[in-house]
Amino acid sequence: MRRLIEFLVFIMLLTSSRAIFRLILDGGAVDQTAHLEESGSNTFLGYMFLGWKLIILLIFTFLLLTKRLGKLKFGTQWGFLIILCFLSMAWAKYPDPVRVSSFMILCSYLLVLLHFEICGWLRAMRFIKNVFLLISILSIAFALLLPSYGISVGEEHQGKWQGVFAHKNELGLFASLAYVFFLSWHRFEKSLSTKVGIIVSAMLILGCVSTTAYSCLAIVSLLFLFLQLSSTRKIIFSWRYMLLVLVLLGCIYAIYASINSSILISIGEKDSSFSNRNLIWAYLLTQSYNAIWLGHGLEQISASVMTDNSSFQESVGFVVGTAHNGFVDAIHALGLVGL
């Protein structure tokens, strides 16, 4: 049973991080404007998502009926979020994507609970560490040995690393998460694999040339160094909630500055428009005002774009299927209550 649970976790980590599968379906690195549409062979990803999550649900039901599961600790916040996701089908313009996404979130949460309950927290964390390390090393190998897959092409991102991902920003997101994980786990287990993970994930961040990933690398590294000092650690721990509030306010101000034409902050080649993402955010936030408390429902951005993108094209000037910002996406999907 443990092996089966770990296999499902492995598949979940690959699919949720968008590693390997999309790159293979694209046939290698392609320009960011030339990705395959979500049709044809790419529907394999959708079937795979639903297939393995149905298996998770069956395993969970079996363990529950046979009383082998023990007492699971369901988080109140997670439970409320999952209920809100399913309820959003009632007011969503496109309910089918909401149904699928809500089911996926529920099954992912169940799998996490099963993983730690069946395998124990130490084995579960070590398994996650090994998967992160595997994806990181494969990304290095693709970038150095298979450049037709691991190096970005196109005028904007030419020559930047993308590893086993279809876009260099996806590599930056994964590498940043891996760097935080390895650095945090180093306090519990100072093994060679953990140290290799720290080095490799930092190399991937440098190779993908993502401003956001660079910022994460700098901030997390400084915070880690400060936490090595007992005096600084006590101060940070005492003010941890205030620091979280300041980070949240900083993120909100960054979005406000980007969509406010009277404010333009420029550092080198980058400015507060965030490569025209401000146009996307302004459009979606305007839409969010119409459903400010409960939002429009999950996956409504991509569903509306696939159905009729004329309004998006007219308002923004180009078409994308995501908000390119977690806060904006959350408030558009689930409103202030979900955020």
- What is the pLDDT tens value at each position of the chain, 339 positions in all? 788 889 888 988 888 888 888 888 888 888 866 654 444 334 455 556 666 667 777 777 777 777 766 667 777 878 888 888 889 999 999 998 888 888 888 888 888 888 998 899 999 999 999 999 999 999 999 999 999 999 998 777 889 999 999 889 999 999 999 999 999 999 889 899 999 999 999 999 999 999 889 989 999 999 899 888 888 888 888 888 898 888 888 878 877 777 775 555 555 556 556 667 888 888 999 899 889 899 999 989 988 888 888 888 888 888 887 888 888 999 999 998 887
- The SS3 assignment for 298 reads coil
78 Cβ partners below 8 Å, 6+ apart?
Answer: 109
- The tokens of 19 are what? 């590693």
Which residue pairs, CB below 8 angstroms and at least 24 apart, start in 318-326? 318/276, 320/280, 323/280, 323/281, 323/284, 324/274, 324/277, 324/280, 324/281, 325/255, 325/277, 325/280, 325/281
Q: What pTM value is reported for the model?
A: 0.85
Q: What pLDDT is attached to residue 69? A: 65
271 phi and psi angles, rounded to 5 deg: -140, 180
**pLDDT score at 265:** 58
pLDDT at 34: 62
Distances (CA, A) of 294 to 152, 280, 281: 38, 20, 18
Q: Are 68 and 27 in contact (CB under 8 A)?
A: no
Segments in 66-167 forming alpha helices (H):
76-87, 95-119, 121-145, 147-150
Output Rg (C-alpha) for the chain, integer angstroms: 21
* Residue 130: per-residue pLDDT: 97
pLDDT of residue 5: 86
Where b means 16+ CB within 10 Å and e means fewer, 11-22 reads bbbbbebbbbbb
How does DSSP classify residue 27?
T
